[in-house]
Structure 1
Amino acid sequence: MSPLSGKTALVTGASRGIGRASALALAKAGAQVLVHYCREDTTANEVVKQIRAAGGHADRIAADLSAPDGPHRLANRARAVIGARLDVLVCSADMTKGASIEDTTVADFDELFALNVRAPYFLVQQLMPAMCKGSSVLLVSSLAAHGQVGIVSSPASAHAVSQGAVDTLVKYFATTLGARGVRVNAIAADMVASGISDPKTKNSGRLTPTAPEMQRFKRSAQSEDIGGAVVFLASDAARWITGETLCVDGGSRL
Protein backbone atom coordinates (compact mmCIF):
# COMPACT_ATOMS: atom_id res chain seq x y z
CA MET A 1 0.00 0.00 0.00
CA SER A 2 1.21 3.51 -0.77
CA PRO A 3 2.39 5.39 2.35
CA LEU A 4 -0.26 8.10 2.03
CA SER A 5 -3.10 6.06 0.60
CA GLY A 6 -6.46 7.45 1.70
CA LYS A 7 -4.94 10.68 2.98
CA THR A 8 -5.89 14.22 1.99
CA ALA A 9 -3.30 16.94 1.35
CA LEU A 10 -3.36 20.67 0.64
CA VAL A 11 -0.26 22.18 -0.97
CA THR A 12 0.01 25.95 -1.27
CA GLY A 13 1.93 27.46 -4.16
CA ALA A 14 1.55 24.13 -5.93
CA SER A 15 1.67 25.40 -9.51
CA ARG A 16 5.46 25.81 -9.51
CA GLY A 17 8.72 24.91 -7.81
CA ILE A 18 8.73 23.00 -4.54
CA GLY A 19 4.95 23.23 -4.30
CA ARG A 20 4.49 21.53 -7.64
CA ALA A 21 7.07 18.84 -6.83
CA SER A 22 5.43 18.28 -3.44
CA ALA A 23 1.95 17.93 -4.94
CA LEU A 24 3.18 15.41 -7.51
CA ALA A 25 5.13 13.41 -4.92
CA LEU A 26 2.24 13.33 -2.45
CA ALA A 27 -0.16 12.19 -5.17
CA LYS A 28 2.27 9.46 -6.24
CA ALA A 29 2.37 8.33 -2.61
CA GLY A 30 -1.42 7.91 -2.68
CA ALA A 31 -2.79 11.17 -1.29
CA GLN A 32 -5.71 13.14 -2.65
CA VAL A 33 -4.13 16.53 -3.36
CA LEU A 34 -5.57 20.02 -3.43
CA VAL A 35 -3.37 22.10 -5.73
CA HIS A 36 -3.45 25.70 -4.53
CA TYR A 37 -2.53 28.59 -6.78
CA CYS A 38 -3.01 32.33 -6.89
CA ARG A 39 -2.91 33.46 -10.51
CA GLU A 40 -1.22 30.63 -12.40
CA ASP A 41 -4.43 28.96 -13.55
CA THR A 42 -2.87 27.21 -16.54
CA THR A 43 0.12 25.75 -14.70
CA ALA A 44 -2.04 24.65 -11.77
CA ASN A 45 -4.36 22.89 -14.19
CA GLU A 46 -1.36 21.13 -15.72
CA VAL A 47 -0.35 19.78 -12.32
CA VAL A 48 -3.87 18.46 -11.72
CA LYS A 49 -3.94 16.85 -15.17
CA GLN A 50 -0.57 15.20 -14.59
CA ILE A 51 -1.74 13.73 -11.29
CA ARG A 52 -4.98 12.46 -12.75
CA ALA A 53 -3.22 11.03 -15.79
CA ALA A 54 -1.10 8.92 -13.43
CA GLY A 55 -4.23 7.60 -11.72
CA GLY A 56 -4.19 10.00 -8.77
CA HIS A 57 -6.80 12.33 -7.35
CA ALA A 58 -6.38 16.10 -7.43
CA ASP A 59 -8.32 19.34 -7.60
CA ARG A 60 -7.14 22.91 -8.01
CA ILE A 61 -8.13 25.64 -5.62
CA ALA A 62 -7.40 29.37 -5.85
CA ALA A 63 -6.78 32.04 -3.21
CA ASP A 64 -4.55 35.06 -2.79
CA LEU A 65 -2.67 34.25 0.39
CA SER A 66 -1.06 37.68 0.52
CA ALA A 67 -4.50 39.20 1.20
CA PRO A 68 -5.52 39.51 4.89
CA ASP A 69 -8.45 37.15 4.40
CA GLY A 70 -6.65 34.87 1.94
CA PRO A 71 -5.89 32.02 4.39
CA HIS A 72 -9.46 32.07 5.68
CA ARG A 73 -10.85 31.87 2.14
CA LEU A 74 -8.50 29.03 1.24
CA ALA A 75 -9.38 27.08 4.37
CA ASN A 76 -13.10 27.39 3.62
CA ARG A 77 -12.63 26.31 0.02
CA ALA A 78 -10.45 23.38 1.07
CA ARG A 79 -13.02 22.12 3.55
CA ALA A 80 -15.69 22.34 0.86
CA VAL A 81 -13.69 19.83 -1.21
CA ILE A 82 -12.16 17.45 1.32
CA GLY A 83 -14.69 17.71 4.12
CA ALA A 84 -13.80 17.74 7.80
CA ARG A 85 -10.43 15.95 7.67
CA LEU A 86 -7.05 17.17 6.46
CA ASP A 87 -4.05 14.86 6.84
CA VAL A 88 -1.26 16.89 5.24
CA LEU A 89 -0.72 20.62 4.86
CA VAL A 90 2.32 21.82 2.91
CA CYS A 91 2.84 25.59 3.01
CA SER A 92 5.18 26.27 0.11
CA ALA A 93 3.78 29.52 -1.30
CA ASP A 94 6.66 31.94 -1.01
CA MET A 95 7.97 35.27 -2.21
CA THR A 96 11.40 36.89 -2.32
CA LYS A 97 12.61 40.34 -3.17
CA GLY A 98 16.28 40.64 -4.04
CA ALA A 99 16.75 44.16 -2.69
CA SER A 100 19.58 45.26 -0.43
CA ILE A 101 18.86 46.55 3.07
CA GLU A 102 19.22 50.08 1.76
CA ASP A 103 16.76 49.49 -1.07
CA THR A 104 14.13 47.47 0.82
CA THR A 105 10.95 49.47 1.38
CA VAL A 106 8.35 49.11 4.09
CA ALA A 107 5.92 47.87 1.43
CA ASP A 108 8.45 45.23 0.31
CA PHE A 109 8.96 44.05 3.88
CA ASP A 110 5.24 43.91 4.64
CA GLU A 111 4.52 42.02 1.42
CA LEU A 112 7.16 39.41 2.21
CA PHE A 113 5.87 38.80 5.71
CA ALA A 114 2.25 38.75 4.56
CA LEU A 115 2.84 35.77 2.30
CA ASN A 116 5.78 34.03 3.95
CA VAL A 117 4.76 34.31 7.61
CA ARG A 118 1.23 35.64 8.13
CA ALA A 119 -0.35 33.33 5.55
CA PRO A 120 0.92 30.01 6.98
CA TYR A 121 0.16 31.20 10.52
CA PHE A 122 -3.50 31.87 9.83
CA LEU A 123 -3.90 28.96 7.44
CA VAL A 124 -2.83 26.60 10.22
CA GLN A 125 -5.14 28.44 12.60
CA GLN A 126 -8.13 28.04 10.27
CA LEU A 127 -7.41 24.39 9.43
CA MET A 128 -6.68 23.19 12.96
CA PRO A 129 -10.24 21.84 13.43
CA ALA A 130 -9.71 19.59 10.38
CA MET A 131 -6.43 18.14 11.68
CA CYS A 132 -6.36 15.14 13.95
CA LYS A 133 -3.97 12.56 15.35
CA GLY A 134 -1.50 11.63 12.62
CA SER A 135 -1.91 14.83 10.59
CA SER A 136 1.24 16.60 9.46
CA VAL A 137 2.07 20.24 8.72
CA LEU A 138 5.12 21.10 6.62
CA LEU A 139 6.40 24.63 6.18
CA VAL A 140 8.98 25.52 3.55
CA SER A 141 11.90 27.55 4.84
CA SER A 142 15.20 28.59 3.23
CA LEU A 143 18.86 27.75 3.70
CA ALA A 144 19.41 31.50 4.03
CA ALA A 145 17.72 31.33 7.43
CA HIS A 146 20.40 28.88 8.57
CA GLY A 147 23.48 30.93 7.87
CA GLN A 148 24.58 29.15 4.69
CA VAL A 149 27.76 30.81 3.48
CA GLY A 150 27.09 32.87 0.37
CA ILE A 151 23.33 32.62 0.63
CA VAL A 152 23.14 34.56 3.89
CA SER A 153 25.21 37.37 2.34
CA SER A 154 22.92 37.66 -0.68
CA PRO A 155 20.84 40.83 -1.08
CA ALA A 156 17.59 39.04 -0.22
CA SER A 157 18.00 39.84 3.48
CA ALA A 158 14.34 40.55 4.21
CA HIS A 159 13.41 37.20 2.66
CA ALA A 160 15.93 35.43 4.90
CA VAL A 161 14.46 37.15 7.97
CA SER A 162 10.96 36.01 6.99
CA GLN A 163 12.22 32.45 6.63
CA GLY A 164 13.78 32.65 10.08
CA ALA A 165 10.32 33.54 11.35
CA VAL A 166 8.98 30.42 9.64
CA ASP A 167 11.44 28.28 11.61
CA THR A 168 10.18 29.91 14.80
CA LEU A 169 6.58 29.16 13.81
CA VAL A 170 7.51 25.49 13.50
CA LYS A 171 8.56 25.31 17.16
CA TYR A 172 5.40 27.00 18.44
CA PHE A 173 3.06 25.09 16.15
CA ALA A 174 4.68 21.77 17.08
CA THR A 175 4.18 22.51 20.77
CA THR A 176 0.59 23.68 20.36
CA LEU A 177 -0.59 21.00 17.94
CA GLY A 178 1.35 18.18 19.57
CA ALA A 179 -1.44 17.64 22.07
CA ARG A 180 -3.69 16.80 19.13
CA GLY A 181 -1.19 14.32 17.74
CA VAL A 182 -0.35 16.68 14.85
CA ARG A 183 3.28 16.94 13.79
CA VAL A 184 4.82 20.17 12.46
CA ASN A 185 8.15 20.36 10.64
CA ALA A 186 9.89 22.50 8.04
CA ILE A 187 12.09 21.85 5.04
CA ALA A 188 14.87 24.34 4.31
CA ALA A 189 15.90 24.44 0.67
CA ASP A 190 17.76 26.91 -1.51
CA MET A 191 15.93 29.36 -3.74
CA VAL A 192 16.84 27.41 -6.89
CA ALA A 193 14.83 24.46 -5.63
CA SER A 194 12.06 26.82 -4.59
CA GLY A 195 11.85 28.13 -8.13
CA ILE A 196 12.17 31.78 -7.16
CA SER A 197 14.19 34.27 -9.16
CA ASP A 198 12.49 37.48 -10.20
CA PRO A 199 12.22 39.68 -7.10
CA LYS A 200 8.76 40.78 -8.20
CA THR A 201 7.31 37.31 -8.75
CA LYS A 202 5.99 34.59 -6.50
CA ASN A 203 7.03 30.97 -6.84
CA SER A 204 8.41 31.35 -10.36
CA GLY A 205 11.65 31.25 -12.31
CA ARG A 206 15.16 30.18 -11.31
CA LEU A 207 18.29 31.66 -9.80
CA THR A 208 21.83 31.39 -11.06
CA PRO A 209 23.46 28.86 -8.68
CA THR A 210 25.77 30.39 -6.08
CA ALA A 211 28.78 28.67 -4.52
CA PRO A 212 26.96 26.84 -1.69
CA GLU A 213 24.32 25.61 -4.12
CA MET A 214 26.99 23.79 -6.12
CA GLN A 215 26.87 21.07 -3.53
CA ARG A 216 28.60 17.76 -2.89
CA PHE A 217 26.60 16.35 -5.77
CA LYS A 218 28.19 18.98 -8.05
CA ARG A 219 24.91 20.52 -9.11
CA SER A 220 22.31 22.90 -7.77
CA ALA A 221 19.16 21.61 -6.10
CA GLN A 222 16.07 20.86 -8.16
CA SER A 223 12.53 21.06 -6.84
CA GLU A 224 12.17 17.31 -7.43
CA ASP A 225 14.91 16.73 -4.86
CA ILE A 226 12.55 18.09 -2.21
CA GLY A 227 9.46 16.00 -3.04
CA GLY A 228 10.77 12.83 -1.44
CA ALA A 229 11.58 14.66 1.79
CA VAL A 230 8.06 16.07 1.87
CA VAL A 231 6.53 12.61 1.51
CA PHE A 232 8.79 11.22 4.22
CA LEU A 233 7.92 13.93 6.76
CA ALA A 234 4.23 13.63 5.90
CA SER A 235 4.20 9.85 6.29
CA ASP A 236 4.01 7.58 9.31
CA ALA A 237 7.70 6.80 8.81
CA ALA A 238 8.39 10.21 10.40
CA ARG A 239 5.84 9.76 13.19
CA TRP A 240 8.39 10.59 15.90
CA ILE A 241 9.73 13.76 14.24
CA THR A 242 8.22 17.13 15.07
CA GLY A 243 9.41 20.69 15.67
CA GLU A 244 12.37 20.18 13.35
CA THR A 245 13.69 21.93 10.24
CA LEU A 246 15.24 19.52 7.77
CA CYS A 247 17.95 21.11 5.61
CA VAL A 248 17.79 19.50 2.19
CA ASP A 249 21.05 20.91 0.91
CA GLY A 250 22.96 18.11 -0.82
CA GLY A 251 25.80 18.37 1.70
CA SER A 252 26.68 22.02 1.22
CA ARG A 253 27.37 22.38 4.95
CA LEU A 254 30.01 19.61 4.94
Structure 2
Amino acid sequence: MRALEGKVALVTGASRGIGRAIAERLGRDGAVVAVAYAREDAAANQVVKAIREDGGRAFAIRAPLGAHGDAVALWAAFDEGVREFAPDGGVDIIVNNAGIGSSSDLASISETEFDTVFAVNVRAPFFIVQQGLERLRDGGRVINISSGLSRIAMPEKMAYGSTKGALDTFTLNLAKELGPRGITVNSVAPGIIDTDVNADWLRGDDEALAWAASVSALGRVGRTDDISGVVAFLATDDARWVTGRTVDATGGSAL
Protein backbone atom coordinates (compact mmCIF):
# COMPACT_ATOMS: atom_id res chain seq x y z
CA MET A 1 0.00 0.00 0.00
CA ARG A 2 1.23 3.49 -0.85
CA ALA A 3 2.00 5.74 2.12
CA LEU A 4 -0.99 8.06 1.61
CA GLU A 5 -3.52 5.57 0.28
CA GLY A 6 -7.01 6.53 1.42
CA LYS A 7 -6.03 10.12 2.26
CA VAL A 8 -7.39 13.32 0.73
CA ALA A 9 -5.06 16.29 0.21
CA LEU A 10 -5.66 19.93 -0.68
CA VAL A 11 -2.71 21.77 -2.22
CA THR A 12 -3.03 25.48 -2.97
CA GLY A 13 -1.02 27.12 -5.72
CA ALA A 14 -0.74 23.68 -7.29
CA SER A 15 -0.77 24.56 -10.99
CA ARG A 16 2.98 25.21 -11.24
CA GLY A 17 6.35 25.17 -9.53
CA ILE A 18 6.67 23.80 -6.02
CA GLY A 19 2.90 23.40 -5.68
CA ARG A 20 2.72 21.24 -8.78
CA ALA A 21 5.58 19.05 -7.57
CA ILE A 22 3.85 18.61 -4.21
CA ALA A 23 0.51 17.75 -5.78
CA GLU A 24 2.06 15.20 -8.13
CA ARG A 25 4.12 13.60 -5.35
CA LEU A 26 1.15 13.27 -2.99
CA GLY A 27 -0.81 11.77 -5.87
CA ARG A 28 1.92 9.20 -6.52
CA ASP A 29 1.90 8.35 -2.83
CA GLY A 30 -1.80 7.48 -3.03
CA ALA A 31 -3.67 10.58 -1.90
CA VAL A 32 -6.65 12.04 -3.73
CA VAL A 33 -5.39 15.53 -4.57
CA ALA A 34 -7.44 18.70 -4.85
CA VAL A 35 -5.36 20.89 -7.16
CA ALA A 36 -6.25 24.43 -6.11
CA TYR A 37 -5.20 27.31 -8.35
CA ALA A 38 -5.97 30.95 -9.01
CA ARG A 39 -6.04 31.59 -12.77
CA GLU A 40 -4.29 29.11 -15.05
CA ASP A 41 -7.01 26.61 -16.03
CA ALA A 42 -4.90 24.79 -18.61
CA ALA A 43 -1.94 24.42 -16.24
CA ALA A 44 -4.11 23.07 -13.42
CA ASN A 45 -5.81 20.62 -15.75
CA GLN A 46 -2.38 19.44 -16.89
CA VAL A 47 -1.43 18.69 -13.28
CA VAL A 48 -4.64 16.70 -12.79
CA LYS A 49 -3.92 14.82 -16.02
CA ALA A 50 -0.36 14.05 -14.96
CA ILE A 51 -1.53 12.68 -11.60
CA ARG A 52 -4.16 10.51 -13.23
CA GLU A 53 -1.75 9.20 -15.87
CA ASP A 54 0.55 8.21 -13.01
CA GLY A 55 -2.22 6.10 -11.48
CA GLY A 56 -3.46 8.70 -9.01
CA ARG A 57 -6.72 10.55 -8.45
CA ALA A 58 -7.14 14.30 -8.59
CA PHE A 59 -9.48 17.16 -9.39
CA ALA A 60 -8.95 20.88 -9.96
CA ILE A 61 -10.59 23.73 -8.07
CA ARG A 62 -10.30 27.34 -9.18
CA ALA A 63 -9.92 29.46 -6.06
CA PRO A 64 -8.18 32.87 -6.26
CA LEU A 65 -6.80 34.02 -2.92
CA GLY A 66 -6.28 37.44 -1.38
CA ALA A 67 -9.84 38.76 -0.96
CA HIS A 68 -12.22 38.47 1.96
CA GLY A 69 -14.27 35.30 1.61
CA ASP A 70 -11.65 33.49 -0.47
CA ALA A 71 -11.34 30.61 1.99
CA VAL A 72 -15.10 30.07 2.04
CA ALA A 73 -15.16 29.96 -1.76
CA LEU A 74 -12.23 27.55 -1.87
CA TRP A 75 -13.89 25.08 0.47
CA ALA A 76 -17.18 25.35 -1.40
CA ALA A 77 -15.36 24.34 -4.58
CA PHE A 78 -13.57 21.56 -2.69
CA ASP A 79 -16.87 20.22 -1.33
CA GLU A 80 -18.27 19.98 -4.83
CA GLY A 81 -15.22 18.27 -6.31
CA VAL A 82 -14.42 15.83 -3.53
CA ARG A 83 -17.80 14.08 -3.51
CA GLU A 84 -16.70 11.72 -6.27
CA PHE A 85 -13.76 10.51 -4.18
CA ALA A 86 -14.74 10.95 -0.51
CA PRO A 87 -18.48 11.12 0.12
CA ASP A 88 -17.94 12.34 3.69
CA GLY A 89 -16.17 15.45 2.34
CA GLY A 90 -13.21 15.04 4.68
CA VAL A 91 -9.63 16.14 4.12
CA ASP A 92 -6.49 14.71 5.71
CA ILE A 93 -3.73 16.96 4.41
CA ILE A 94 -3.82 20.72 3.84
CA VAL A 95 -0.78 22.20 2.09
CA ASN A 96 -0.79 26.00 2.12
CA ASN A 97 1.60 26.61 -0.76
CA ALA A 98 0.03 29.49 -2.72
CA GLY A 99 1.73 32.80 -2.21
CA ILE A 100 3.20 35.92 -3.73
CA GLY A 101 6.89 35.12 -4.06
CA SER A 102 8.45 38.54 -3.75
CA SER A 103 7.88 42.15 -2.71
CA SER A 104 9.33 45.59 -3.31
CA ASP A 105 11.94 46.97 -0.94
CA LEU A 106 11.23 49.18 2.06
CA ALA A 107 11.69 52.43 0.17
CA SER A 108 9.37 51.64 -2.71
CA ILE A 109 6.67 49.28 -1.43
CA SER A 110 3.20 50.78 -1.34
CA GLU A 111 0.53 50.14 1.24
CA THR A 112 -1.51 48.38 -1.42
CA GLU A 113 1.29 45.98 -2.30
CA PHE A 114 2.01 45.36 1.38
CA ASP A 115 -1.63 44.54 2.04
CA THR A 116 -1.80 42.23 -0.97
CA VAL A 117 1.30 40.26 -0.01
CA PHE A 118 0.01 39.74 3.53
CA ALA A 119 -3.50 38.90 2.31
CA VAL A 120 -2.29 36.07 0.09
CA ASN A 121 0.66 34.81 2.14
CA VAL A 122 -0.76 35.08 5.67
CA ARG A 123 -4.47 35.79 5.80
CA ALA A 124 -5.44 33.19 3.20
CA PRO A 125 -3.67 30.24 4.91
CA PHE A 126 -5.07 31.33 8.28
CA PHE A 127 -8.67 31.30 7.11
CA ILE A 128 -8.24 28.26 4.87
CA VAL A 129 -7.40 26.33 8.02
CA GLN A 130 -10.13 28.02 10.06
CA GLN A 131 -12.79 27.23 7.49
CA GLY A 132 -11.41 23.74 6.91
CA LEU A 133 -11.36 22.57 10.52
CA GLU A 134 -14.75 20.87 10.32
CA ARG A 135 -13.50 18.90 7.32
CA LEU A 136 -9.99 18.14 8.62
CA ARG A 137 -9.95 14.63 10.03
CA ASP A 138 -8.31 13.76 13.35
CA GLY A 139 -4.74 12.65 12.78
CA GLY A 140 -4.45 14.97 9.81
CA ARG A 141 -1.67 17.21 8.59
CA VAL A 142 -1.32 20.94 7.95
CA ILE A 143 1.85 21.87 6.06
CA ASN A 144 2.65 25.52 5.38
CA ILE A 145 5.21 26.47 2.75
CA SER A 146 7.40 29.13 4.32
CA SER A 147 10.78 30.42 3.09
CA GLY A 148 14.40 30.55 4.09
CA LEU A 149 13.87 34.31 4.25
CA SER A 150 12.09 33.84 7.57
CA ARG A 151 15.59 33.31 9.05
CA ILE A 152 17.92 34.92 6.47
CA ALA A 153 17.94 38.71 6.20
CA MET A 154 17.24 40.05 2.72
CA PRO A 155 16.07 43.65 3.21
CA GLU A 156 15.10 44.09 -0.44
CA LYS A 157 12.31 41.53 0.15
CA MET A 158 11.45 42.61 3.68
CA ALA A 159 7.67 42.45 3.41
CA TYR A 160 7.75 39.02 1.79
CA GLY A 161 10.12 37.69 4.45
CA SER A 162 7.85 39.11 7.14
CA THR A 163 4.88 37.17 5.77
CA LYS A 164 6.84 33.94 6.08
CA GLY A 165 7.86 34.77 9.63
CA ALA A 166 4.18 35.28 10.40
CA LEU A 167 3.36 31.95 8.74
CA ASP A 168 5.90 30.16 10.95
CA THR A 169 4.33 31.72 14.05
CA PHE A 170 0.92 30.57 12.81
CA THR A 171 2.38 27.07 12.43
CA LEU A 172 3.70 27.07 15.99
CA ASN A 173 0.42 28.15 17.55
CA LEU A 174 -1.75 25.97 15.33
CA ALA A 175 0.29 22.91 16.30
CA LYS A 176 -0.56 23.58 19.96
CA GLU A 177 -4.22 24.21 19.11
CA LEU A 178 -4.72 21.06 17.05
CA GLY A 179 -2.40 18.70 18.90
CA PRO A 180 -5.18 17.17 21.05
CA ARG A 181 -6.78 15.90 17.82
CA GLY A 182 -3.57 14.21 16.70
CA ILE A 183 -3.14 16.75 13.90
CA THR A 184 0.43 17.83 13.19
CA VAL A 185 1.29 21.26 11.82
CA ASN A 186 4.65 22.12 10.30
CA SER A 187 6.29 24.63 7.98
CA VAL A 188 8.70 23.80 5.18
CA ALA A 189 11.12 26.58 4.28
CA PRO A 190 12.63 26.35 0.76
CA GLY A 191 15.65 28.30 -0.40
CA ILE A 192 16.34 29.24 -4.01
CA ILE A 193 14.42 26.80 -6.20
CA ASP A 194 14.59 26.52 -9.96
CA THR A 195 11.01 27.37 -10.92
CA ASP A 196 9.37 29.67 -13.44
CA VAL A 197 9.10 32.29 -10.68
CA ASN A 198 12.90 32.57 -10.67
CA ALA A 199 13.38 31.96 -14.38
CA ASP A 200 13.74 35.64 -15.32
CA TRP A 201 16.98 36.03 -13.36
CA LEU A 202 18.22 32.48 -12.82
CA ARG A 203 17.98 30.64 -16.12
CA GLY A 204 20.31 31.56 -18.93
CA ASP A 205 22.54 33.67 -16.68
CA ASP A 206 25.65 31.71 -15.73
CA GLU A 207 26.77 34.29 -13.19
CA ALA A 208 23.39 34.33 -11.42
CA LEU A 209 23.24 30.55 -11.45
CA ALA A 210 26.72 30.27 -9.94
CA TRP A 211 25.82 32.75 -7.20
CA ALA A 212 22.56 30.93 -6.41
CA ALA A 213 24.40 27.60 -6.20
CA SER A 214 27.06 29.09 -3.93
CA VAL A 215 24.45 30.14 -1.35
CA SER A 216 23.72 26.50 -0.55
CA ALA A 217 26.13 24.36 1.45
CA LEU A 218 25.40 21.60 -1.08
CA GLY A 219 26.60 23.75 -3.97
CA ARG A 220 23.58 23.70 -6.24
CA VAL A 221 20.22 25.34 -6.83
CA GLY A 222 17.24 23.53 -5.35
CA ARG A 223 14.75 21.53 -7.40
CA THR A 224 11.02 21.30 -6.82
CA ASP A 225 11.33 17.64 -5.89
CA ASP A 226 13.72 18.62 -3.09
CA ILE A 227 10.73 20.31 -1.46
CA SER A 228 7.97 17.90 -2.44
CA GLY A 229 9.90 15.05 -0.84
CA VAL A 230 10.02 16.86 2.52
CA VAL A 231 6.31 17.67 2.32
CA ALA A 232 5.51 14.06 1.42
CA PHE A 233 7.39 12.85 4.50
CA LEU A 234 5.57 15.27 6.79
CA ALA A 235 2.26 14.04 5.35
CA THR A 236 2.93 10.42 6.31
CA ASP A 237 2.54 8.54 9.55
CA ASP A 238 6.33 8.42 9.86
CA ALA A 239 6.18 12.14 10.78
CA ARG A 240 3.52 11.68 13.44
CA TRP A 241 5.84 12.91 16.23
CA VAL A 242 6.97 16.08 14.42
CA THR A 243 4.83 19.16 14.95
CA GLY A 244 5.16 22.88 15.45
CA ARG A 245 8.46 22.92 13.57
CA THR A 246 9.86 24.83 10.61
CA VAL A 247 11.84 22.38 8.50
CA ASP A 248 14.71 24.17 6.78
CA ALA A 249 14.81 22.90 3.20
CA THR A 250 17.26 25.47 1.83
CA GLY A 251 20.11 23.05 1.17
CA GLY A 252 21.99 24.66 4.03
CA SER A 253 21.78 28.19 2.67
CA ALA A 254 23.68 30.95 4.51
CA LEU A 255 25.04 28.64 7.20
**Same fold flag (TM > 0.5):** yes
Q: What is residue 191 of structure 2 aligned with on the other side?
A: 190
Q: Does 1:124 align with 2:129?
A: yes
Helix, strand or coil at the partner of 1:192? coil
Helix, strand or coil at the partner of 1:155? helix
Counterpart of 1:183, as a letter, is T
Q: 1:37 to 1:245 in 2, by over 3 A?
A: same
Q: What is residue 100 of structure 1 aligned with on the other side?
A: 105
In the TM superposition, 1:128-143 aligns within 5 A as: 128-143=133-148
Q: Where does the alignment leave 5 or more consecutive residues of structure 2 unmatched?
A: 83-87, 203-208
In the TM superposition, 1:172-251 aligns within 5 A as: 172-192=173-193, 195-197=196-198, 205=199, 207-208=201-202, 209=209, 211=211, 213-214=213-214, 215-251=216-252
Structure 2 CA distance for aligned equivalents of residues 206 and 2 of structure 1: 37
Q: 1:71 to 1:210 in 2, by over 3 A?
A: farther
Would the aligned equivalents of 1:212 and 1:252 in 2 still touch at CA under 8 Å? no
Structure 2 CA distance for aligned equivalents of residues 187 and 195 of structure 1: 20
Q: Where does the alignment leave 5 or more consecutive residues of structure 1 unmatched?
A: 198-204
Would the aligned equivalents of 1:192 and 1:206 in 2 still touch at CA under 8 Å? no
Helix, strand or coil at the partner of 1:94? coil
Q: 1:207 to 1:243 in 2, by over 3 A?
A: farther
Q: 1:171-214: CA deviations, max 9, x gaps?
A: 111111112211100100025356534xxxxxxx5653584653
State the aligned residue count: 243
Give the alignment's Cα RMSD to 1 decimal. 1.7
Counterpart of 1:240, as a letter, is W
Q: 1:2-25: CA deviations, max 9, x gaps?
A: 110010000000001111010011
Counterpart of 2:253, as a letter, is S
Q: What is residue 95 of structure 2 aligned with on the other side?
A: 90
Counterpart of 1:130, as a letter, is R
Helix, strand or coil at the partner of 1:187? strand
Counterpart of 2:233, as a letter, is F
Helix, strand or coil at the partner of 1:129? coil
Q: What is residue 2 of structure 2 aligned with on the other side?
A: 2
Would the aligned equivalents of 2:150 and 2:164 in 1 still touch at CA under 8 Å? yes
Would the aligned equivalents of 2:212 and 2:220 in 1 still touch at CA under 8 Å? no
| TM-superposed deviation, 1:153 | 2.4
Helix, strand or coil at the partner of 1:111? helix
Structure 2 CA distance for aligned equivalents of residues 246 and 207 of structure 1: 26
Q: 1:104-143: CA deviations, max 9, x gaps?
A: 0000100000000000000000000111221000000010
Q: Does 1:115 align with 2:120?
A: yes
Q: Does 1:27 align with 2:27?
A: yes
User: Which has the higher relative contact order, 1 or 2, with Cα contacts under 8 A spaced 6 or more apart?
Assistant: 1
Helix, strand or coil at the partner of 2:139? coil
Deviates more, 1:12-21 or 1:174-183: 174-183
Structure 2 CA distance for aligned equivalents of residues 111 and 251 of structure 1: 30
